[in-house]
Structure 1
Amino acid sequence: MKIASKSKNFYLILKRKVVRSGKAKNQLFLNNESTSVEIKTPNKNKTHQKEFTSDKRTSINLQSFREVSSSKARLNVKIIQCTNRLLCEVEIDTWNYFFTDPREAARHSFDAGSNTERVGCGDISMSPYDIAWVAMIPVPLYKKTKHSKDFRLAFPECLAWLLSSQDESGSWARTGAVSIAPVLSGLWSLGMFESRAGLYFEERLREIGFTLEHFNTIFEKGIFFMRHTLNEWNIDDIDMKGFEIVTPFLISQLEKLNPPIFFDFPDKERYLKENKRKINLIPIEAIFKLASARQPLAIIHSLEALIGVIDLSRVQNPRFQAINGSYGSPAATAAVLIDAPKWDDKAYEFLRKIISRRSKHVSTLCETRWVIHCVSEMVLNIIREPRTDLDHPLLEEMSANLRCLVEYMKELLIQKKDIMRWVGWNNRIPADVDNTAVLNYLVTKFDPSYSIDIKVILETYWNGKCFLRFPRECTFSVSSNVHVVTLLLSAREKVKNQSTTEENIEEWTNIDNIICSTINFILSKQNENQVWIDEWNVSPWYTTMKSIQLLLSLQNYLDILQSTEIQTKQSLFDHCRKSINYALSVQHSDGSWGEPSADTIGNMEETSLVVRLLRVAAENWPNDIQIKGAIEKGRTYLLKHFDEAMTDTNYFYNKQPFLWFDKQLYTVPRILKASILAALWDNLNSQ
């Protein structure tokens, strides 16, 4: 009851628009330790917005911590200040006047109201795969004449990047199977450049500042790398978006070059056979029929792999092209400009804007969702701590930031009728279950007055066994299903506290059955180590942390638990403990978890995920010394690299592994920072 009461108090703080300016001396009451600290809370005004959109916005002024005597309280202050800084960055990137009117920002984030000048923003690693595709786009004159003398590149800087940014290994995207698609696309781009330039090849190279010798060196290193990587590859070990159609397409295109490039590898025949089967399953005419009915289509994201399968001139219309000129992705947009006979000014302009902004081309809706998802976990733990003063200015600033973001997300849901897609400006991409579930959960968690239409989610994504990623698709994501069940349980609790009718009882009996079926589905996807592998993230800890959090929460829903394969609370604990024991067994000697980073055995992202997992474990096994020791070691590791992670803008690009999946691996620094902050706060309060 205390938690519910305090949660309500925090919601009341969220409802207040708390704006403080200038300097103030305040007492910080966290962990029952009173310390004096000078707090600088930024004004939510235009000057503040310009400050945070400058190149210096990621720097953190730690001067205010010097007066704090307690290291624990000092770190709490740092965590909250870093969190507030992160929330400000996300908000400002969403809309220039976000603090003035977040609802207005939402109205300018989607479809007809979208500002098409904003092709997307955020913080994400560069995509060699997309760069290689954009590098192949010729100028309109060459598309018209097909004469080598007229051949130039529309974006020569992209080819220059390929020729100057190759790793020593010969890759453009690190090593292993995840590098296959970007390296194949890079090789095809170089081969197409040589083929199209013909007799003018060396002259065209000199025009962009490179010699024939340098070109040949880069090309040969890439081929050597690819031969080695494909020979070592087990095709069953990877499931990236569009991988089964993109990679075979690139292999076939390289074989058509003059001279051709052939790659033979152990599973090639089986892989190409599977590709042919999947291509034949694509209902081409049905896709055009759905597009004619203005239905968004997920396949647009991988349109480039359909060169030769469909006539891309047929997609050059508003049924496929987004409001800002794109076709699903930069690579898909490039494919239309490469293959369709007619030049597309809108598509070209979209790519030109992205290139001019370099790596900042991720939708902030996706980034905002995950940052707030991590921050909400931290906030809920703050609420649980009875000694935390929710009226403290730092927490009031956090509540003001969250209030803006909740209002923003609420307006988005109202506009899109409770289902959401990951990007605002691409109105041809369908809403996905992950964004839909998480945004609804966050809004209802922080604004109890907001109600959602559960039926819309069920009708759009439920297939009788689990929730699909996109409507009409046959693929699924374990973590997405976890998010949907978490939302349904939250909504179920809200309904139970209200007056019920016979109709409501029947409806929620059906939903209870869906919840149980989905939980059984999630359980069925565990591997031999009792962890989960998902299609969004390489690390098992991303999905395992979320799944164990969900499963252990079923203690509060014993009627649901009894209808699942687990059935009893003891069986639940026994089941979850296997995953936790595995996590304990693979912690590195330096306290980290996961793949190696530039200078340590493990990395910050996976360590933060496992620490968050073990924090839940510690709540359920409070006397377990091994769990507490692992948390402490993980905390020490995170703290050792904390300042560098929060202040060095290149830290996650240069020193940390890329663990997020698309057509290649990428990283999202702001989301990783939010996970680290959530992990550290939880650890401090659990001691």
Structure 2
Amino acid sequence: MAKLLAHHEVSLQVDELLEQVGQYRMSACAYDVAWLARVPRWDTPGALLFPGAVEWLLANQHGDGSWGASIALAHDRVVCTLAAVVALAHLRERDPRVEEPLRRGASFLRQRQATVDTTNDPVETVGFELVVPTLLEEARAFGLRLPTQRWEYIRRLRAEKLQRLPPGTAYSPGTTLLHSLEHLGTGAVPALARRAQLPNGSYGASPSATAFALTLYDDPAARAYLQQAVASTTQDGGVCDVFPIDVFEYAWTLYNFRGLEAQRPELKEHAAALAQLWKPNGVCFTSEWDLTDGDDTAIAFLVLQRFGHRPDPVVFHLFEIEECFACFALERNPSVSTNAHVLEALTACPQTTAVEQMCHKARTWLLDAQAGDGFWRDKWHASPYYASCQAATALASYAPEALRRTLRWLLDAQHPTGGWGMQDGTSEETAYALETLLAVAPWLEGEEQDRCREAIGNGVDLLQEHLPDGHQPELWVGKALYTPYTVVQSAILGALCRALSYLQGQGARMYDAPTPAIAD
């Protein structure tokens, strides 16, 4: 009876969440807020366009002097604190309140604790190697004594990356460099920057890049874009890391609610909206940018297939590289989740020779990327539970032995609370762990099956106990860590639906099983 009641409670929350799809709710990001705090009012000398951003920085400094996500990871804390310190240095002559937070932030960056040791942090934020050297130069110009030699390796990475690019690439809407336009610093050429502006007024759909442009010149479209981004984030002066995220939010939410299509006619309406955003060469996280990426393309492809659309798998050749599939051109490191999503999408396609070859490529690379303990890590999410979930879902019908190691890792890593993840466990990471167990459950027997079922039950208890929980920690990786609230909540609710069905004997999955494996 308790489980039936839980199904009803989950159903009500699914209803509520589906009404929020399209609002692009995201957490505020200290890195982007710091850039927002530097934007002047060009019609009023000495005034700021977003004074609320300064208030946000003053109110959201951590006790150790840093800024960043609630879970301390080095890349995020360093880039957020560095951006905040430089922003406050710009303001120290007009606002005496910033002096003490500025001193504490600089002191944090000088320490030698793990929270500033980026060499041992696997979660590298987007554009870190581009923006950190620029911020360090600004800090030096303000006389802030920071241990710049500690990040000398970042300067080398930046130099190597930029050396490979044709002149003018930084201003091209066709590359991800536009998303980190602020790395140009004092070397930016305003006339070239203006030419790179997207139709919605942004630069690379990035509030921080757009704010940087507004420190160079006034632009009504850029101002309007930032005001929209602020309005979509919080009511306290903060701003999100990327905006808008229409493709990402529609695609991931529909993917997380797989199996509920017949029960939820509104899902079909959202799928129709996603279909309107689909292009033959793929999609990006936002429809406002003509750039495409392999991850959003694969998830959107998979979702559209499930709703009766027939996108052409030839699109994945556009992301195919020598050993695997790329998310973006020019990226330094391939993505586990991108290759897992490509494999999952291709597995659901008619198995032509070309499709089989692409499946083999993605599958081989994923198996090689697995850690010895059985888990995976990904560049787009801080938690190994996310990456492992995506890989296990894609590989479930192909590689039971590899996933047996994943199973042992999960069973050993479960907290006494029943959850998984950082600290005492989070609802989001617990949801991904449950999905992974559901992916391997169909081929388990005996004691393994019993342990798996018990672990799923304990995980379900934790998720039910914490429902509703709309304030998940920032685990998604952008230029800093962030939480896409609707996407995360759909992952939790979707996992709960499938886990409850499994515990009630309706099977591990509420949707059709993947196409049988093709022998290599």
Q: Could you state the TM-score of these two structures normalised by the residue count of structure 2?
A: 0.88
- Partner residue in 2 for 1:300: 178
Q: In the TM superposition, what is the alpha-carbon distance from 1:305 to its structure 2 partner? A: 0.8
What amino acid is the match of 1:176? L
Q: In the TM superposition, what is the alpha-carbon distance from 1:480 to its structure 2 partner? A: 0.8
Q: Is the 8 A contact 2:229 2:244 kept in 1?
A: no
- Partner residue in 2 for 1:80: 11
- Partner residue in 2 for 1:243: 128
2:254 to 360, 369, 372: 372
Q: In the TM superposition, what is the alpha-carbon distance from 1:275 to its structure 2 partner? A: 2.7
2:219 to 339, 344, 354: 344
Is 433-442 or 621-630 further displaced after alignment?
A: 621-630
What amino acid is the match of 2:454? G
Output the aligned Cα RMSD. 2.2
Distance, in Å, in 1 between the alignment partners of 2:445 and 2:191 is 63
Q: Report 1:310-321 matches (<5 A).
A: 310-317=188-195, 320-321=196-197
- Partner residue in 1 for 2:276: 411
Counterparts in 2 of 1:357 and 1:684: CA distance versus 1, 3 Å? closer
2:39 is equivalent to residue 176 of structure 1: no
Q: Is the 8 A contact 1:418 1:440 kept in 2?
A: no
Q: Is the 8 A contact 1:375 1:678 kept in 2?
A: yes
Distance, in Å, in 1 between the alignment partners of 2:459 and 2:497 is 13
Distance, in Å, in 1 between the alignment partners of 2:165 and 2:43 is 34
Q: Is the 8 A contact 2:91 2:98 kept in 1?
A: no
Q: SS of the counterpart of 1:379?
A: coil
Q: Deviations over 1:567-612 (max 9, x none)?
A: xxxxx3222101110111111111111112xxxx211111111011
- Partner residue in 1 for 2:315: 456
Q: Is the 8 A contact 1:124 1:362 kept in 2?
A: no
Distance, in Å, in 1 between the alignment partners of 2:301 and 2:111 is 46
Q: Is the 8 A contact 2:170 2:178 kept in 1?
A: no
Distance, in Å, in 2 between the alignment partners of 1:640 and 1:139 is 47
Distance, in Å, in 2 between the alignment partners of 1:357 and 1:375 is 24
- Partner residue in 2 for 1:580: 407
Q: In the TM superposition, what is the alpha-carbon distance from 1:346 to its structure 2 partner? A: 1.8
Distance, in Å, in 2 between the alignment partners of 1:574 and 1:134 is 50
Q: Is the 8 A contact 2:418 2:455 kept in 1?
A: yes
Q: In the TM superposition, what is the alpha-carbon distance from 1:357 to its structure 2 partner? A: 4.2
What amino acid is the match of 2:130? I
Distance, in Å, in 2 between the alignment partners of 1:252 and 1:135 is 19
Poorly superposed stretches of 4+, deviation over 6 Å: none
Q: In the TM superposition, what is the alpha-carbon distance from 1:482 to its structure 2 partner? A: 1.0
Q: Which structure would you say has the larger Rg?
A: 1
Distance, in Å, in 2 between the alignment partners of 1:230 and 1:325 is 40
2:488 is equivalent to residue 605 of structure 1: no
Identity of matched residues, %: 25
Distance, in Å, in 2 between the alignment partners of 1:603 and 1:464 is 37
Q: Report 1:152-551 matches (<5 A).
A: 152-173=47-68, 174=70, 175-177=72-74, 178-194=76-92, 201=93, 204-205=94-95, 212=96, 214-228=97-111, 232-237=116-121, 238-257=123-142, 260-264=143-147, 267-286=150-169, 291=172, 296-317=174-195, 320-328=196-204, 329-338=206-215, 340=216, 342-359=217-234, 361-376=243-258, 378-379=259-260, 395=263, 398=264, 400-413=265-278, 416-417=279-280, 419-424=282-287, 426-427=288-289, 430-447=291-308, 450-458=309-317, 460-471=318-329, 473=331, 475-493=333-351, 508-551=352-395
1:594 to 421, 427, 437: 421
Q: SS of the counterpart of 1:136?
A: coil
Q: Deviations over 1:321-372 (max 9, x none)?
A: 111211111111111121x3x4322212222333344437542321121111
Distance, in Å, in 2 between the alignment partners of 1:616 and 1:622 is 14
- Partner residue in 2 for 1:616: 439
What amino acid is the match of 1:243? F
Counterparts in 2 of 1:233 and 1:474: CA distance versus 1, 3 Å? closer
Q: Is the 8 A contact 1:594 1:606 kept in 2?
A: yes
- Partner residue in 1 for 2:33: 131
Q: Is the 8 A contact 1:595 1:657 kept in 2?
A: no
Q: Is the 8 A contact 1:235 1:271 kept in 2?
A: no
Q: Is the 8 A contact 1:137 1:334 kept in 2?
A: yes
Runs of 5+ unmatched residues, structure 2: 235-239, 504-520
Distance, in Å, in 2 between the alignment partners of 1:230 and 1:430 is 38
Distance, in Å, in 2 between the alignment partners of 1:531 and 1:346 is 45
Q: SS of the counterpart of 2:61?
A: coil
Q: Is the 8 A contact 1:234 1:267 kept in 2?
A: no
Counterparts in 2 of 1:356 and 1:285: CA distance versus 1, 3 Å? closer
Q: SS of the counterpart of 1:122?
A: coil
Distance, in Å, in 2 between the alignment partners of 1:358 and 1:86 is 17
- Partner residue in 1 for 2:518: none
What amino acid is the match of 1:277? E
Distance, in Å, in 1 between the alignment partners of 2:401 and 2:313 is 32
Counterparts in 2 of 1:634 and 1:229: CA distance versus 1, 3 Å? farther
Q: In the TM superposition, what is the alpha-carbon distance from 1:131 to its structure 2 partner? A: 1.0
Q: Is the 8 A contact 2:304 2:311 kept in 1?
A: no
Q: SS of the counterpart of 1:535?
A: coil
Distance, in Å, in 2 between the alignment partners of 1:234 and 1:327 is 27
Distance, in Å, in 1 between the alignment partners of 2:425 and 2:331 is 36
What amino acid is the match of 1:188? V
Counterparts in 2 of 1:264 and 1:352: CA distance versus 1, 3 Å? same
Q: Is the 8 A contact 1:468 1:474 kept in 2?
A: no
Distance, in Å, in 2 between the alignment partners of 1:684 and 1:627 is 14
Q: In the TM superposition, what is the alpha-carbon distance from 1:230 to its structure 2 partner? A: 6.8
Counterparts in 2 of 1:453 and 1:357: CA distance versus 1, 3 Å? closer
Distance, in Å, in 1 between the alignment partners of 2:337 and 2:232 is 31
Distance, in Å, in 2 between the alignment partners of 1:594 and 1:473 is 28
Q: In the TM superposition, what is the alpha-carbon distance from 1:287 to its structure 2 partner? A: 5.4
Counterparts in 2 of 1:298 and 1:606: CA distance versus 1, 3 Å? same
Q: In the TM superposition, what is the alpha-carbon distance from 1:418 to its structure 2 partner? A: 5.1
Q: Is the 8 A contact 1:482 1:550 kept in 2?
A: yes
Q: In the TM superposition, what is the alpha-carbon distance from 1:539 to its structure 2 partner? A: 0.5
Q: Is the 8 A contact 1:136 1:192 kept in 2?
A: yes
- Partner residue in 2 for 1:63: none
2:491 is equivalent to residue 675 of structure 1: yes
Q: In the TM superposition, what is the alpha-carbon distance from 1:265 to its structure 2 partner? A: 6.7
Counterparts in 2 of 1:154 and 1:230: CA distance versus 1, 3 Å? farther
Distance, in Å, in 2 between the alignment partners of 1:169 and 1:287 is 35
Runs of 5+ unmatched residues, structure 1: 1-69, 94-120, 143-149, 195-200, 206-211, 381-389, 494-507, 555-571, 646-650
